[in-house]
Amino acid sequence: MNELDKKFYKISEVAGILGVPASTLRFWEKEFTVIKPKRNDKNTRFYTPEDVETIRMVYFLVKEKGLKLDAAQAEIKHNRHNVSKQSEVIERLQGMKKQLQELQKAFNALR
């Protein structure tokens, strides 16, 4: 899980952190009432670390679990804590899997 150490993130930064296009973030903002980035006078979006975590939950529910948008929205609204924990666990497991694959690749290269 990426550590979020800034107060605000631009849409391009959030897209990079989560590995999704900025257009997906803009679409999700329209569809999910829980995504509300702050905006300046020029209408530039600024996401807080909490916004990024909410978008991670949306990503998990929509992309990983395959829920439809309205079902994902309801899940976040009614069971936010559990969704957050599930998302965290999956992300950690994926990181471990990647590390193990890299170790296996390095081991095979030594043979």
Indicate which CATH number applies to the domain containing 91: 1.10.1660.10
**Residue 67: enclosing H or E segment and its boundaries?**
none
Residue 61 lies in a domain: yes
Residue 30 lies in a domain: yes
Residue 1 lies in a domain: no
Rounded to whole angstroms, the Cα distance separating 86 from 74 reads: 16
Structural domain span for residue 65: 11-110
In tens, the pLDDT along 40-68 reads 999 999 999 989 988 988 998 898 889 99
Q: Provide the number of structural domains found in the chain.
A: 1
- pTM for the model stands at 0.68
Residue 47 lies in a domain: yes
Q: What is the sign, positive or negative, of the torsion defined by CA atoms of 94, 20, 52, 14?
A: positive
Residue 37 lies in a domain: yes
Residue 5 lies in a domain: no
Residue 35 lies in a domain: yes
In tens, the pLDDT along 9-43 reads 999 999 999 899 999 999 999 999 889 999 999 99
Residue with tokens 């994926």: 94
